Amino acid sequence: MNIKLLLTLLCLGWVFAAPARAEFAVCNQSFDVVNVAIGQANGDEFVTEGWWTIGTNQCANVIQEDLYNQYVYVYATDVFGQPILEGTVSMCIGAKRFEIFGIDECLKRGHAAAQFYEVNTQEVSRWTFFLQPRGAN
């Protein structure tokens, strides 16, 4: 087989390969390793999930299925536990890996409350959210 034909077949295989499915990804463009939790509506209530640890210039696929909500909520902290987003929506988080249904009375139910940042996904089925360094526009 000639080398040009082999290279052409390899390139075509790469072009037509199935894309990686990342329906909601968080990419860390900050200078710190971050811990991320997400929240979204699940029927009549909200559910929050965490944690994903994302290194500098890395991404994590935090929602694997097509998005069905226009809004996804993101909470991110640095390695010292300090929030790095200006959140406006209070939701529940856990100290370790968690999935929490409902966002009311977090403390009463044994969870912490945190201010999540609202991301408008424009009602598309896939979205990537980029965490920027502090002070970036």
Residue ranges covered by each domain of the chain: 3-131
Class of domain 3-131: mainly beta
Percent of residues, the chain, with pLDDT higher than 90 = 64
The pTM of the full predicted model, rounded to 2 decimals, is 0.80
3-class DSSP string for 30-58? CCCCEEEEEEEEECCEEEEEEEEEECCCE
Backbone Cα Rg of the chain: 18
pLDDT band per the 50, 70, 90 thresholds, residue 135: low
pLDDT band per the 50, 70, 90 thresholds, residue 95: very high
pLDDT in tens, 51-72: 999 999 999 999 988 888 899 9
By mean pLDDT, which of 13-27, 48-62, 112-126 is the weakest? 13-27
- The DSSP letter of residue 67 is P
User: One-letter amino acid identity for 88?
Assistant: T
